[in-house]
Amino acid sequence: MVDRDRDDAGRALNSRPRDRLGRPLPPGSAGVARIPDDLDLSPRQTLTFAQQLLDDGLAFNAHEVLEAAWKNGPFAERMLWQALAQLAVGVTHIQRGNPKGARTLLTRAVTRLTEYQPEDGTQAPYGIDRTGLIAYSQALVDALDAQTPISPTELTPRLRA
């Protein structure tokens, strides 16, 4: 059995360095800065940080930021944050050259974004562009299905309207 770092509760921690696309590197390698496991930001800070990472081509790191919001946020918003995290990891799969994985995650993101119903019945909270992100994700799925090349400039979704 592999000896792994663990937190105080005994959950496994992954301290291995990762490359720009989130792939593990050999121990001791120089990788990109990791997102802390205990990241706790406000929703607006989360969106700003995730957008910056997406704009810098670090979709895997954006996924980790959005995943923290999904796991730590209010129950009523979990589907929304999960969809955003899945969108970011779908982009990561495109960056890694994995169209099947990308299609799966982007389709899940479209489903969750479509099914998410804001509490007030109108807009998604925090200025999240739910309608635009559904269209963006579906356009990527369509491009993957048509085997149309997707340029790196097309892999920077706008999280807010």
pLDDT tens by residue, the chain, 161 residues = 556 566 666 655 667 788 888 888 888 888 888 888 788 999 999 999 999 999 999 999 999 999 999 988 888 899 999 999 999 999 999 999 999 999 999 999 999 999 998 776 678 899 999 999 999 999 999 999 999 999 999 999 999 99
Within the chain, what is the greatest distance between any pair of CA atoms?
A: 50
Backbone φ/ψ region at 97: left (φ over 0), alpha (ψ -120 to 50), beta = left
Contact 49, 65 (CB under 8 A): yes
Rounded CA-CA distance 129/157 in Å is: 10
* pTM for the model: 0.87
What is the 3-state secondary structure of 118-149?
CCCCCCCHHHECHHHHHHHHHHHHHHHHCCCC
CA atoms 39, 44, 45, 47: torsion sign: positive
